[in-house]
Amino acid sequence: MKYISTRGQAPALGFGEAMMTGLARDGGLYVPETVPQMSAAEISALAGLPYEEAAFRVMRPFVAGFFSDDELKTLLARAYAGFGHAARAPLVQLGPNHFLLELFHGPTLAFKDFAMQIIGQMMQAALARTGERITIVGATSGDTGSAAIEAFRGLSNVDVFILFPHGRVSEVQRRQMTTPSEANVHALALDGDFDDCQARLKDMFNDFAFRDGVRLAGVNSINWARVLAQVVYYFTAAVSLGAPHRRVGFTVPTGNFGDIFAGYIAKRMGLPIDRLVIATNQNDILDRAMKGGDYRTVGVRPSISPSMDIQVSSNFERALFDALGRDGAAVQALMDGLKQSGGFTIPPAAMEKLRTEFDSGRCSEEETRATIAALRQTTGELLCPHSAVGVKVAGEHLGAVPMITLATAHPAKFPDAVEQATGLRPALPARMADLFDRPERVTRVPNDLEALKTLIRDRIAGRVPA
């Protein structure tokens, strides 16, 4: 299986290289050259399997040639062993034809664990073959950072640096990043918002001397391996509700477009998905783009669903690449427009293609709180604010086809917002009840590329024996 860049200029890579590289050297994102197909019989056969076995069958064609079947099975077994639920991704019913896919039973209580735990295992296995060491730098709106730290803490051949926007993540999110005591973990609070963190990360990847010098590897959702791991739960959830014999829809609380793009890949593989509904909070660039055809940044307004406080939705580039007939030059031209003037108009033919795949909706702050309160009353479920954004938007798209809304984080990760809406303060699961007692370790950093590069080089030099 080969992976190609959405901007058409970087070399095609195999799975292992695409995973270790993250961002392509032409600034694009890697996508599979062709999407492997699963037949109706193969999809049917997923029914009732343990999550890890279903993951093996879905992911196998994408990693073939890099991991053997036995290796992949071993890595998957390790990746999901630390989850707090035997089903890994259980479904619960919210109402007639509306279901919630709980993706928050991993070690850091958000869906990011599904991808990060397996990518941690896969990168470790790849490094063990060559004896190399790498530097992981990640930008986070809150949940990616803790999931990455959890996946890589304590490894001798990996340093993990996480940039998060100072003062803009929840206390639970921050503590999950600042309390691990391992020397290879570096939590960096950046003076800026998430888009600044993401922009500095991209700058580092585009600085080839630095990138090669520290052996930079990325684990943000621009990393294809992340998307791949998330394809799995679209299959397991749909099959639980009768796929491939029955179609299902999905509503996905969306920020960087990684999670919902995984649903799109599942559909391209043959899973009969009816609609994929993009749900945004008040930072609604994707909803505006889908409705008006203009993808334009307007600045981030902090919300009670902070993991979706994003204005440049990186993975949208992957969907655009397909909608533009896989024309890398056309993608590059639009992205140049974004850089130069803060936006671009999506060509009408591409817009039409996007609208055949995706619907969209937005949820205000007030609607988010009202949805948390309403669901508590009608179902007894406590939703995190991100999941509530999904549930609200899904409510506008319910019909004859079963709808599955993705619950992306545990309510206890955002206790203030949940308490404000319901009067109830959700408790952390027992396995992390001491989070507020552990000492924190964090470095405040300016929004400045050179300063960041220096800090990272110094920290690594301090850790690697001369």
Catalytic residues, which ones? 112
The beta-strand segments (E) located in 152-298 are: 158-165, 185-190, 216-217, 248-253, 273-280, 294-296
| The two three-digit tokens of residue 234, written as one number | 């679209």
| The two three-digit tokens of residue 130, written as one number | 């060559």
Q: What torsion, rounded to 10 degrees, do the Cα atoms 366, 146, 456, 10 define? A: -80
Site for ligand PLP in 295-334 (CB under 6 A): 307-308
Which residues lie closer than 8 Å to 22 by C-beta, 6 or more apart? 205, 216, 217, 218, 219, 220, 222, 223
| Site stretch for ligand PLP (CB under 6 A), options 118-126, 251-259, 268-276, 327-335 | 251-259
| Site stretch for ligand PLP (CB under 6 A), options 30-38, 53-61, 86-94, 249-257 | 249-257
Which one among 138, 249, 255, 402 touches ligand PLP, defined by CB under 6 A? 255
| Site stretch for ligand PLP (CB under 6 A), options 3-11, 64-72, 201-209, 254-262 | 254-262
The beta-strand segments (E) located in 85-215 are: 91-95, 98-102, 134-139, 158-165, 185-190
Residue 57 CB, shortest distance to ligand PLP, in Å, is: 23
Residue 216 CB, shortest distance to ligand PLP, in Å, is: 21
Determine if 287 is a binding residue for ligand PLP (CB under 6 A).
no
| H or E, element range at 420 | helix 415-422
Place of tokens 């609200």: 392
Sheet holding 91-95, edge to edge: 91-95, 98-102, 403-407, 248-253, 273-280, 358-362
Determine if 415 is a binding residue for ligand PLP (CB under 6 A).
no
Alpha carbon distance 339, 426 (integer Å):
41
Q: How many residues sit in the footprint of ligand PLP (CB under 6 A)?
A: 16
Which is nearer to ligand PLP, 204 or 384 (by Cβ)? 384
Residue 104 CB, shortest distance to ligand PLP, in Å, is: 8
Q: Is 125 helix (H, G, I), strand (E, B) or coil?
A: helix
Determine if 259 is a binding residue for ligand PLP (CB under 6 A).
yes
Residue 386 CB, shortest distance to ligand PLP, in Å, is: 4
Determine if 445 is a binding residue for ligand PLP (CB under 6 A).
no
The residue type at 339? K
- What number of CA atoms fall less than 13 Å from residue 188's CA on the CB side? 32
Determine if 256 is a binding residue for ligand PLP (CB under 6 A).
yes
Which is nearer to ligand PLP, 283 or 332 (by Cβ)? 283
Determine if 145 is a binding residue for ligand PLP (CB under 6 A).
no
Residue 368 CB, shortest distance to ligand PLP, in Å, is: 12
Which residues lie closer than 8 Å to 235 by C-beta, 6 or more apart? 38, 43, 46, 54, 58, 243, 266, 271
Which is nearer to ligand PLP, 256 or 405 (by Cβ)? 256
Question: Taking the mean position of all CA atoms in its chain, how far away is CA 271?
Answer: 20
Determine if 368 is a binding residue for ligand PLP (CB under 6 A).
no
Determine if 283 is a binding residue for ligand PLP (CB under 6 A).
no
Which is nearer to ligand PLP, 135 or 408 (by Cβ)? 408
Determine if 408 is a binding residue for ligand PLP (CB under 6 A).
yes
| Site stretch for ligand PLP (CB under 6 A), options 17-25, 253-261, 347-355, 374-382 | 253-261
Taking each helix axis as running N to C, give the angle between helix 194-206 and helix 449-463, from 0 to 180 degrees, rounded to the nearest 10. Answer: 70
Which one among 6, 176, 221, 368 touches ligand PLP, defined by CB under 6 A? 221
With contact defined as beta carbons under 8 Å apart, do 256 and 315 qualify? yes
Residue 212 CB, shortest distance to ligand PLP, in Å, is: 28
Bridge partners of residue 445, in order along the sequence: 190
Determine if 110 is a binding residue for ligand PLP (CB under 6 A).
yes
Determine if 410 is a binding residue for ligand PLP (CB under 6 A).
no
Which is nearer to ligand PLP, 18 or 262 (by Cβ)? 262
| The two three-digit tokens of residue 164, written as one number | 């998060």
Residues near ligand PLP (CB under 6 A): 110, 112, 143, 221, 253-259, 307-308, 386, 408-409
